[in-house]
Amino acid sequence: MSSKKPIPLFPPYLDHRGAHKDEGDSSSGLAIFCLKLLLHGTPFFEGYELNGEFDDELVATIKRLQENLGFTGADVDGCFGQGTREAFLARFGVDINALPLALIAQPTKARQPDGQMIGWPPIEFDRSNR
């Protein structure tokens, strides 16, 4: 029996630097939304819109986190790479790299107050309307 390693929720590195230079696009999408949601409950959060954009507010939040984790100088870069993840694990006991994509890729079964079970998102959910 082979045990497959689950696909992680986050890619190996999330970088914002393309957002303000002619270097291409910055990281964006579902992983950024999940990162914002994760950091939302920390003392480093000072407000940002919960979306999939690696915006200036998220960069500032990650920099505050990195400084709190003991990073200095150029290591305080606002990117969410392996060094930040390892320090996050050491400090908070949360292994970012172990969070499986399946956490959010599966539909939710939700029991309603009347006992009825519904699936979420609804089947008629239009993913193009984001």
CATH number at residue 61: 1.10.101
User: Does residue 91 fall inside a structural domain?
Assistant: yes
User: Does residue 11 fall inside a structural domain?
Assistant: no
Check pLDDT > 70 for residue 23. no
Number of separate domains in the chain: 1
Instruction: State the pLDDT at residue 6.
Output: 82
Q: 6-15, 26-35, 85-94, 101-110 — which one is most confidently predicted on average?
A: 85-94
pLDDT confidence band for 102 (50 / 70 / 90): confident
Instruction: State the pLDDT at residue 130.
Output: 44
What's the per-residue H, E or C state across 28-47? ECHHHHHHHHHHHCCCCCCC
Q: Which residues fall within 8 angstroms of residue 95, CB to CB, at 6 or more apart? A: 85, 89
Over range 14-30, report the average pLDDT. Answer: 70
Domain around 64: 17-120
- Cα–Cα distance for residue pair 123/121, rounded to 1 Å: 6
Check pLDDT > 80 for residue 20. no
What is the reported pTM?
0.77
Q: How many CA atoms lie within 13 A of 130 on its CB side?
A: 7
CB distance 63 to 39 below 8 Å: no
